[in-house]
Amino acid sequence: MDAPAKPAFPKVAGHLALDLVDTVHWRLDDARSIDTLPTFDELLRWSTEIAGCADLGDLRAAAVEVPDVAARELAAVIRLREAIYEAVFQGSDTAVDLVATEYAGAVQRSSLVRDPDQSSWTWSVPTGLTGPRTLIAREAQDLLTSDLSRARQCGDDACGWVYLDTSPRHNRIWCTAAGCGNRNRVARHQARKQH
């Protein structure tokens, strides 16, 4: 029998750091909440599918060699993910401090490499197990220092997915029109019929 299909990671937020926050499904309902990053391997899958990292086969192999290091990296990424959420949506100063500390570490681990066309330099993330955390910390800093007046959370009671509302009229209520939007429209329609 085939293994059950892995859940698809959402990319609906408009910023990579918020896409990471959205790896928790049903965040606002403890009974249904699902963390889709339970293993370092899944973090690597997210890094490839959503963050656009190149093939991470070497990292996958390295994680098998030193599982305790991989587990620590995953735990640090999860802490960072929750700090991004708490900083942006709960105004937590402690969370902002954690993002700042992680960003400082990320800069220390990164290096500037010359672009192929030799016209400029680009930050390069380390190729080791700290790579995903380094990339995410830089994205988190980028998010927190950008205009967050359009940061929103889905209007569904349980969903909890977050995004930047870049719609022309800034009236986006749902993470996705086809998901929460449609389900809530149907629910409202049913409720009206019963009255």
User: CB of residue 45 vs Zn ion: minimum separation in angstroms?
Assistant: 22
User: CB of residue 156 vs Zn ion: minimum separation in angstroms?
Assistant: 4
**C-alpha–C-alpha distance, residues 159 and 188, integer Å:** 16
CB atoms within 10 A of CB 158: 15
> Does position 21 bind Zn ion by CB under 5 A?
no
> What stretch of H or E contains 68?
helix 67-90
Q: Among residues 136, 74, 58, which one has the least CA distance to residue 102? A: 136
Q: Which structure tokens are listed for 155?
A: 């209007």
> Does position 18 bind Zn ion by CB under 5 A?
no
> Cβ distance 136 to 80 under 8 Å?
yes
> Does position 13 bind Zn ion by CB under 5 A?
no
> What stretch of H or E contains 152?
strand 151-153
- Choose which of 87, 156, 162, 172 interacts with Zn ion (CB under 5 A): 156
User: CB of residue 184 vs Zn ion: minimum separation in angstroms?
Assistant: 9
Radius of gyration of the chain (CA): 19
131 or 160, CB closer to Zn ion? 160
- Choose which of 43, 154, 162, 164 interacts with Zn ion (CB under 5 A): 154
- Choose which of 40, 89, 161, 163 interacts with Zn ion (CB under 5 A): 161
50 or 125, CB closer to Zn ion? 50
> Does position 140 bind Zn ion by CB under 5 A?
no
- Which residues are at the interface with Zn ion (CB under 5 A)? 154, 156, 159, 161, 175, 180
